[in-house]
């Protein structure tokens, strides 16, 4: 079966660049300051979900009032934003730019579907914002992953339907969002992305035409 793929929609953190690690380190610093046990393993559950949901998962049921929640989220974001000063174009993960360029050359539109409110500044620091035909971020929709809304919003901006688009995701919540929305899903990495139609360890050696062919076989 030959698929009619017209767009690739990429998650950012953990797919295009390794800011997933910076998100972890920022939550870890906050957790340590507050005496909340928080491990790298715990952090896997935070991949792809919103800042608020990340806080909920980090707290694991510990009750806090709203003012404290706002304080924690602000501090975490301050730590995260400070770490972005380290980001340069060299932080684009191997293979990502080649895949974007192959897709563009093949007439496939490029979208961003990141839950992060920091997605645009990160893309700017990476120097690749101009490669995206539409950018959906943490400001675009109310319902965040695993709801499909962000990918549907981005597909709408690109003018394609979900069955014409492939979502690249490193998070269980993101793969779930893609599948619920009726998109093709490529899982990236070692997190719980096994429900995706195709799983790749990373984007190194990922090729646009091979991916479309593999999804259609
Ligand atoms: C992405 C990341 C999450 C992060 C979320 C919100 O989904 O994978 O780790 O918590 O965005 O990011 P923000 O920059 O808005 O706090
Ligand atoms: Mg991610």
Distance 1 CA to ligand 1 centre (A): 36
pLDDT digits (tens, 9 = 90+) for 151-183: 999 999 999 999 999 999 999 999 999 999 999
Q: Is 23 in the pocket of ligand 1 (CB under 6 A)?
A: yes
Query: Which contiguous run of DSSP H or E holds residue 153?
Result: helix 149-158
Told to judge if 133 belongs to the known catalytic residues of this protein, a careful annotator would answer no
With bands split at pLDDT 50, 70 and 90, how would you rate the model's confidence at 196? very high
Cα–Cα distances in angstroms (integers) from residue 76 to residues 33, 90, 190, in the given order: 11, 24, 25
Task: Report the atom number in ligand 1 closest to the C-alpha of 174.
Answer: 7
What is the DSSP annotation of 8-48? Answer: EEE--BTTTBSHHHHHHHHHHHHHHHHT----HHHHGGGTT
Is 11 assigned a catalytic role?
yes
Determine the pLDDT at residue 108: 98
Q: CA distances (Å), 185 to each of 36, 151, 207, in order?
A: 34, 11, 15
pLDDT in tens, 28-51: 999 999 999 999 999 999 989 999
pLDDT, tens digit, for every residue of 89-132?
999 999 999 999 999 999 999 999 999 999 999 999 999 999 99
- Residue 1: what pLDDT? 62
Residue of 22, 28, 49, 81 to test ligand 1 pocket, by largest number of atoms within 8 Å of CB: 49
């Amino acid at each position: 079966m030959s698929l009619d793929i017209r767009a690739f929609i990429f998650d950012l953190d953990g797919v295009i660049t390794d800011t997933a690690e910076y998100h972890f380190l920022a939550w870890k610093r906050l957790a340590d300051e507050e005496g909340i046990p928080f491990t790298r393993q715990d952090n896997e559950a935070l991949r792809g979900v919103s800042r608020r949901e990340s806080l909920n998962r980090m707290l694991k049921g510990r009750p806090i009032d709203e003012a404290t929640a706002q304080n924690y989220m602000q501090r975490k974001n301050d730590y995260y934003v400070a770490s972005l000063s380290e980001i340069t174009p060299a932080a684009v993960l191997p293979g990502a730019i080649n895949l974007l360029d192959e897709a563009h050359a093949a007439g496939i539109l490029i979208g961003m579907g990141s839950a992060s409110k920091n997605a645009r500044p990160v893309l700017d620091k990476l120097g690749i914002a101009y490669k995206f035909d539409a950018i959906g971020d943490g400001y675009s929709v109310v319902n965040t992953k695993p709801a499909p809304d962000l990918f549907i919003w981005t597909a709408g901006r690109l003018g394609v339907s979900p069955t014409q688009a492939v979502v690249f995701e490193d998070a269980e919540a993101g793969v779930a969002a893609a599948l619920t929305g009726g998109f093709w899903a490529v899982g990236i990495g070692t997190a719980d992305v096994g429900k995706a139609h195709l799983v790749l360890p990373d984007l190194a050696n990922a090729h646009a035409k091979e991916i479309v062919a593999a999804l259609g076989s």
